[in-house]
Structure 1
Amino acid sequence: MSRAELPPTRPGAGSPGTVRPSQAGCRVAADESSALVWLSGVLEPAEHDRVRDALLARLGERPGPIVVDLGGLRSDRPTVGRLLAEVRRTVCDWPAADLLVVDPAGAVTGVAGELAVHPHPDDATAALARTPMAAVLTEELTPVVGAARRARELVTDGCDRWGMPELTEPACIAVTELVNNVVAHAATPMTLRLAPGGDTLHLAVRDHSRQQPRYAGLAPLTSAGGRGLLLIDTVARRWGSTLLPDGKVIWCVLHTEDESHWHHD
Structure 2
Amino acid sequence: MSSGPSQVTVTAATAAGVCLLTAIGTLDSSTYLELRDSVIKAALDEPSAVLVDVSRLTVPAASAWSVFTSARWHVSTWPDIPILLVCPQTEVAARITSTGVTRYVAVHADVESAMASLAHGPHPRRRARIELPHRLSSLRGSRDFVSEWLTNWSQGLLIPTAKVIVDVLVENVLHHTESAPVVVLENDHSMVTIAVQDTNGSPAVLREGIGGGPEWASGLAVVGALCRAWGSSPTPNGKTVWAVLGPENRL
SS of residue in 2 equivalent to 1:108? helix
Give the TM-score taking structure 1 as reference length.
0.78
Match of 2:10 in 1: 28
Which of 195, 204, 210 is residue 204 of structure 1 equivalent to?
195
Aligned-CA RMSD value: 2.7
**Structure 2 unaligned residues grouped into runs of 5+:** none
Asked whether the 8 Å contact 1:93–1:252 carries over to 2, the reply is no
Q: Shift of the alpha carbon at 1:226?
A: 5.8
Distance 1:146 1:117, change over 3 A: farther
Asked whether the 8 Å contact 2:6–2:28 carries over to 1, the reply is no
> Cα deviation per residue 1:162-197 (whole Å; 9 max; x = unaligned)?
322111110111111112111111222443322223
Which of 77, 86, 92 is residue 93 of structure 1 equivalent to?
77
Q: CA–CA distance in 2 between the matches of 1:126 and 1:90?
A: 25
- Identity within the alignment, %: 25
Distance 1:46 1:142, change over 3 A: farther
Asked whether the 8 Å contact 1:26–1:44 carries over to 2, the reply is no
Q: CA–CA distance in 1 between the matches of 2:102 and 2:6?
A: 31
> Cα deviation per residue 1:129-159 (whole Å; 9 max; x = unaligned)?
2224222222334433233333223322332
Question: Higher mean Cα deviation, 48-57 or 104-113?
Answer: 104-113
Which of 91, 113, 117 is residue 127 of structure 1 equivalent to?
117
> Cα deviation per residue 1:68-109 (whole Å; 9 max; x = unaligned)?
221222224744431111111111122453322222231322
Is 2:156 the counterpart of 1:168?
A: no
SS of residue in 1 equivalent to 2:221? helix
Match of 1:20 in 2: none
Amino acid at match of 2:244: V
Q: CA–CA distance in 2 between the matches of 1:38 and 1:120?
A: 12
Q: Shift of the alpha carbon at 1:36?
A: 1.3
Asked whether the 8 Å contact 2:174–2:181 carries over to 1, the reply is no
> Cα deviation per residue 1:20-79 (whole Å; 9 max; x = unaligned)?
xxx961111111454211112222322222222222222222343211221222224744
Q: Shift of the alpha carbon at 1:254?
A: 0.8
Q: CA–CA distance in 2 between the matches of 1:226 and 1:78?
A: 46
Q: CA–CA distance in 1 between the matches of 2:20 and 2:36?
A: 15
Q: Shift of the alpha carbon at 1:232?
A: 0.5
Match of 1:152 in 2: 143
Question: Higher mean Cα deviation, 41-50 or 248-257?
Answer: 41-50
Structure 1 residue ranges (4+ consecutive) displaced by more than 4 angstroms after TM superposition: 218-226
Distance 1:257 1:189, change over 3 A: same
Q: Shift of the alpha carbon at 1:236?
A: 0.6
Which of 14, 17, 21 is residue 37 of structure 1 equivalent to?
21
Asked whether the 8 Å contact 2:54–2:87 carries over to 1, the reply is yes
> Cα deviation per residue 1:2-29 (whole Å; 9 max; x = unaligned)?
xxxxxxxxxxxxxxxxxxxxx9611111
Asked whether the 8 Å contact 1:95–1:194 carries over to 2, the reply is no
Which of 99, 105, 117 is residue 107 of structure 2 equivalent to?
117
Is 2:219 the counterpart of 1:228?
A: yes
SS of residue in 2 equivalent to 1:46? coil
Distance 1:250 1:69, change over 3 A: same
Distance 1:200 1:227, change over 3 A: same
Q: CA–CA distance in 2 between the matches of 1:218 and 1:235?
A: 19
Distance 1:190 1:108, change over 3 A: farther
Distance 1:232 1:54, change over 3 A: same
> What aligned pairs does 1:13-24 form with structure 2 within 5 A after superposition?
none
Q: CA–CA distance in 1 between the matches of 2:82 and 2:133?
A: 27
Q: CA–CA distance in 2 between the matches of 1:61 and 1:171?
A: 22
Match of 1:108 in 2: 96
Which of 196, 210, 215 is residue 206 of structure 2 equivalent to?
215
Q: Shift of the alpha carbon at 1:229?
A: 0.8
Asked whether the 8 Å contact 1:65–1:96 carries over to 2, the reply is no
